[in-house]
Amino acid sequence: MSKPSISRRTVLGASLAATAASVLPAVACAATSAGGPDAALLKLAQEYWQIENGLTSMEAGPAPAFGTAAEKDYETRMGNLLESKARVLNLLANMHARTREGLRAKGAIVEKSLPIHITFNAADLDDPEIRLALSLARDVAGGSSL
């Protein structure tokens, strides 16, 4: 009997699934409440967690066989989700959180995505996760330049 293989994909997938499962309901509830100054931010945060759920689902499942049409489809779907994630992160990084809910939504994304991003990628200041972290820092500092 062979041991189950543990890879970055399975560890990352399990971690993100747990995070998304715990954060998405709170963000979804806040985003659907009666408007507010952070309504657009909360809606984007909800979209981010939906994208993360999609990525986690894809990463947790078996990868299609190399060189098949299924693999090409998988790579296209994965690429689309990653592009959507970067788009949402860039939009969030350009938004100022004005409420506790907005700060919490941004903070939850930073808290879970930044350590993973830094661990597995060569990060620089133009990366969406880094820009979002800096934006959150500006929000918490009251908008002063860092």
Three-class secondary structure assignment of the chain: CCCCCCCHHHHHHHHHHHHHHHHHHHHHHHHCCCCCCCHHHHHHHHHHHHHHHHHHHHHHCCCCCCCCHHHHHHHHHHHHHHHHHHHHHHHHHCCCCCCHHHHHHHHHHHHHHHHHHHHHCCCCCCCHHHHHHHHHHHHHCCCCCC
Query: What is the model's pLDDT at position 141?
Result: 64
Domains of the chain, residue spans: 38-141
Query: What is the model's pLDDT at position 86?
Result: 94
Mean pLDDT by 10 residues, the chain (146 residues): 44 49 49 76 97 95 94 96 96 94 90 77 78 81 54
Give 95's contacts (C-beta < 8 A, 6+ positions apart). 40, 41, 44, 102, 135
In this structure, what is the dihedral angle of CA atoms 120, 122, 127, 130, given to the nearest 10 degrees? 70
